[in-house]
Amino acid sequence: MRSLSPVSANVVRFPGPRTARRDGGDQKSLLDMVYTSGQMVVAADDRETKTLASRLQIFGFLNISEISMDGSARRLRPSEATSTSSDRPWRLSRPSFDELPPLAG
């Protein structure tokens, strides 16, 4: 007879499939869409995508530009992106690594 360790004896397996966690799934799919196509336009009233994009902009994964009525785009800073309203659509684009400051040292 096999002896069970105390740790494995306390583990209870519940029947049925595990549910997938979706914490990073939406972020990954958004980044995949933007990085594959180069840019993506987000509708003015799409709050969920705008919130997700503003979080990704903070970490430097996206550039966000606000599209005005005449079609011109104004790049938003991360502080502006998190507090902006849903008046205008956004253009999400890949960051240009040429714009990064040089490493010190």
- Rounded mean pLDDT of 50-77? 92
Of 65, 60, 69, the C-alpha closest to 50 is 65
- Rounded mean pLDDT of 41-51? 92
Query: 59 φ, ψ to 5°?
Result: -85, 0
Q: What is the pLDDT of residue 15?
A: 76
Q: What is the pLDDT of residue 63?
A: 93
pLDDT tens-place string over residues 69-102: 998 999 999 888 877 667 899 999 998 765 555 6
- Rounded mean pLDDT of 45-55? 91
Question: Is it the case that residue 23 has pLDDT exceeding 60?
Answer: no
- Rounded mean pLDDT of 24-37? 87
Domain boundaries of the chain, sorted by first residue = 26-96
Q: Evaluate whether 91 touches 37 at the Cβ level (below 8 Å).
A: no
Global confidence as pTM:
0.68
